[in-house]
Structure 1
Amino acid sequence: MDSLAGKVVLITGAARGIGEEVARRLHRRGARLVLVDLDEVPLNALAAELGDRVATAVADVTDLRSMDAAVATGVDAFGGLDVVVANAGICSYGSVLAVDPAAFRRVIDVNLVGAFHTVRAALPSIIDSRGYVLVVSSAAAYAPAPGMAAYDASKAGVEHLANALRLEVAHRGVDVGSAHMAWIDTPLVREAKADLESFRTMLGSLPGPLSRTTSVQECGKRFEKGIAKRSRHIDVPGWVAWLRRLRPILQSRLGERDTRRTAAVLVPQGDAEVEALGRSVSARTRALGDGHTAG
């Protein structure tokens, strides 16, 4: 029997990108879904397309009461939760010197505090079912990128949230994993490419596979497999696992050498582009009131 059939899975940032793809894949496996997002129109469109075995909640992960209500929606609909995927995430533009402080704070609130709220709200039900928690971090937790300090910091924090949680709930039969992706063809990455020439140049300057963008479909396939196995780590692409092993070298003077050279040119360029844009987030994120979207 399929290990996901009949399982109740709550996914934040479910309306687009990775969250949407994972929802489609798990639904095909027979899972029952609780889809959570701030953007109501695409959320409802996805739910209508999937049909049965789907409940939705329009919620902001930065508000714990909102997430408590989202979890209650799932519990009321299906009796409890077996899996929670804390996936909602945004990014900001600009260096520490140039980024809008409000945008920096919002990234931390959505990506890190939002993951905490998601897990906190879902955990009692997950403990009851001896279930699985997946917290979506990033390869940025291992190899930070200049000009993305808020995103880097939030994803490093999310990794350690998962690490600490794993130790806290292992004796309760709950497994905890963290997902770490390089560049995925999500709205978040596409919008950054469209807004910032410096971002496109930075991607092009990376060596070999580090510069390539992985499809959302391939990412979703790895998530599907990892969730079914209750994996400790989900790495997309697979070579991201080596970044975890090589982290001490990547964060040494030697490992930072080439990035420092590139940053000397691209950080000032990026800051100038952000100033010209007049915003430190994508237009879509700003239109949502700096709300969350799938990362």
Structure 2
Amino acid sequence: MTSWIVKISGKTPQHWDFARDDQFWDVRDAGSFRRIEPGDDIFFWLTGKRIFLSWVRATSSLYAIGDNARRAHWVDVDTGGYTHRFEFELVSEDVAHPAAWNELQAAAGRKYSPQAPANPVNEPKAQQFLRTRFGHHGDIAFPNIPVTYKLGDDMRERARRQITVRRGQSRFRADLMDAYAGTCAVTGSTVTSVLEAAHIDRYFGDHTNHVANGLLLRSDIHTLFDLGVLTVSSSLTIQLAPWLQDSEYGDYHDQPLRLPSEPHKRPASDALERHRHNCQWL
């Protein structure tokens, strides 16, 4: 897979905010963007400030914007001339280790053009360098809603897109939905719209998107699990932090975890052990 550095003009940094909600990026000149393929990692670089903003993964190739295409939420005056689009899913916005352009070039052993709209990155060391710039990244994300809002704007479509991001990457979630027969492993809820793909070990790349490293959880249970106040014992019973046992969640304490019928799809015991180890109250 090729990785990409895609430039965002320092004059319009808000374009990232809207692209994150839209989950696509529009370009005026197809150029080298034509080579973007689904699965490619894309790193957005803000010119002027010379910083990385985000890491996303392409979910489509570049395609021409048709007359009936969904309109982007650009807010600059010059909105014309966009001809092509690629779609993506968010991986991370947590830039834990900022990098200068020359550091990237040193890692790659070659030069990149900071002025080019898109730079392909094929060198494995450079690709790894880009990924390690980012800290937490996973299926659950809570993107910020841009503050720009006009009275009467319909926010429902944007909310639906953000819910999709929170639920988790589509393939991983679909695999968990199948494994758990569309049922929350803790509550037994079968309301599809609130079921999310939860990683047991935190997300560190596609190799962690395995059913045995996941649980299908109702959204509020997913939050408790990620916060480490709900976990699973070695005997596969649900364990709650003491201060939750007298709450509305108390009925789930010591109850058995619902498991997939196929043994190889059940949660990995070593991953659950690592999750328990991080629960300091246990």
Q: Which has the higher contact order (CA 8 A, sep 6+)?
A: 1
TM over 0.5: no
- If each structure's helix is expressed as a fraction of its own residues, which one has the higher value? 1
Give the TM-score of the pair, scaled to structure 1.
0.27
Please tell me whether Structure 1 or Structure 2 has the larger radius of gyration of its CA atoms.
Answer: 2
